Amino acid sequence: MKKTVLAMVSGLAIVLAGCGQSQATAPVAKKTAGPVTIVWTASPIAGLGVRKTLISLFEKSHPNIKVKLITAPTSTNTDKAALTTQISSGSATPDVYMGDVIWPAQFAHAHLALDLSHHLPSSFWSRFAPGLVQGASYKGQVYGAPFYMDSGFLYYRKDLLAKAHLPVPKTWAQLVSDSETLQKDGLVKYGFVWQGNTYEGLTCDWMEYMTDAGGTVLNAAGTKAAIDSPASLKALTFMRSLITSHVSPAAVTTFEEPQAMAVFDAGKSAFLRNWDYAWANSNSPTDSKVVGKVGVAPLPTFSASNYPGHSTIGGWNIYVNPHSQHIPQDLTFIKWITGTQAQTVLATKFSEIPTNYAVQKNPAVRKVNPVLATVSHVRLVARPSNTPIYPKVSQAIYSNINAALNGSVSPSVALKTTQTQINQAISQNGL
């Protein structure tokens, strides 16, 4: 497998898009006697190997640019705080940095990220999978280049469905029906497990149900809450019914990704909502009792005619420090690392989901991992991170949705409270 992958990767052409900048906006590179070194702060990606591999390939094709790697803290919040302190002080390093897909509005508002849409042509942004550029934008400008992505998937026990002669569910109603059949027949303890705890993961799950029902968190301008709607009530009522019907365990209101994955991998659940990495985990002999028995599909929908359902965008972008002294080289690095060669290495050698749409659709890439074959069929939805107060918006969502899920309040009360809290946060911040 390794020899085949490496041969395929090495045989691919490096596709680079030109800057297309006007002389009025294009930064001018400083003349130097030797290679220019840019500093890349990057979170661990499947260990150190992928970053070193990408840097090595980049430097081979761009001998006049060297990349110095700085490993960011593993905690996203710690990483965010460190970058905020460093860049807001006026520091020119790092030149480029990895950041969460929910950072664009927060970092743009605080002048911590360069407006890339003024430095890269519109043709550059067409290389990305649908929905990713929108998620990296704030007030119509793009502040992050999608590096690798993730989204929600439905994992299912293909052996149990085959035994009961049941299809892979395409609607939420069918998932409930399949679950109840498998539970009634004693084939599995739980039907469906997911992320219901009071944390960011619940906001991700919520976005999928709510968007599929036709709801939205904010208005189009991002200036007012719109979450208290009939569509949202439909979504939340359904989520609560998963628990009251015992299709999902009551403990799902305390589940994060590891807990939900552990139940599924122990063979106690027929269905699981989780991210890309759940596939590898379910097929790990040391971690899973369902090795070889798992399938993956897009998430279901409320209406069969709208299949597939929506999947929340996760993943990381590449941002540029607005104080960087090497912006031309930074842009060259960004174009390469989101191009064909780098994205193919990321997908095939390290099993990350590429943001480059052509790489996603490449049959040779899809063959490597069933999740990669599925991702091009999902409908992506971004969290309402197009506001600089997104952390407060998300907290209002996950705290109140969780309260409705555990029965502390009714779904209608939870949504009204969420709407009020979001509007208060918007008002207090003068947005």
Please state, in angstroms and rounded to a whole number, the distance separating the CA atoms of residues 328 and 119. Answer: 9
pLDDT of residue 15: 33
d(CA 132, CA 151): 11
Q: 194 and 260 in contact (C-beta within 8 Å)?
A: yes
Tell me if domain 2-143+315-377 and domain 153-309+385-428 are identical in fold: yes
Distance CA 245, CA 6 (A): 49
Q: Spell 384-401 as b/e; 16+ CB within 10 A means b.
A: bbbbbbbbbbbbbbbbbb
**94 cis-preceded (ω within 30 degrees of 0):** yes
> Residue 7: its pLDDT value, please?
40
List the one residue out of 246, 242, 247, 282 whose CA is nearest residue 261: 282
Q: Tens-digit pLDDT profile for the chain (431 aa)?
A: 434 333 443 343 333 333 333 333 444 444 556 899 999 999 876 555 889 999 999 999 999 999 999 999 877 888 999 999 999 999 999 999 999 999 999 999 999 999 999 999 999 999 998 888 988 999 899 999 999 999 999 999 999 999 999 999 999 999 999 999 999 999 999 999 999 999 999 999 999 999 999 999 999 888 899 999 999 999 999 999 999 999 999 999 999 999 999 999 999 999 999 998 888 889 888 889 999 999 999 999 999 999 999 999 899 999 999 999 999 999 999 999 999 999 999 998 887 899 999 999 899 998 887 888 898 788 988 898 888 999 999 999 999 999 999 999 999 999 999 999 999 999 998 66
Q: Are 392 and 428 in contact (CB under 8 A)?
A: no
| CB-CB contact of 135 with 104 (8 Å) | yes
pLDDT of res. 386: 83
pLDDT, position 50: 87
- According to DSSP, residue 165 is labeled T
Query: Where do the structural domains in the chain lie, given as residue ranges?
Result: 2-143+315-377, 153-309+385-428
Name which CATH class applies to 153-309+385-428: alpha beta
**DSSP labels, 241-258:** HHHHTTSS-GGGGG--HH
Class of domain 2-143+315-377: alpha beta
| pLDDT at site 368 | 83
Encoding tokens for residue 8?
A: 């395929």
Backbone dihedral angles phi then psi of residue 314, each to the nearest 5 degrees: -120, 180
Tally Cβ neighbours within 10 Å of residue 176: 21
Cβ contacts of 267 within 8 Å, gap of 6 or more: 157, 188, 289, 290
The C-alpha atoms of residue 318 and residue 113 are separated, in whole angstroms, by 10
Which residues have a Cβ under 8 Å from the Cβ of 294 and sit 6 or more positions away? 155, 156, 157, 158, 279, 282, 283
Tokens of 321: 């420090």
- CA nearest to 94, candidates 326, 336, 337, 388: 326
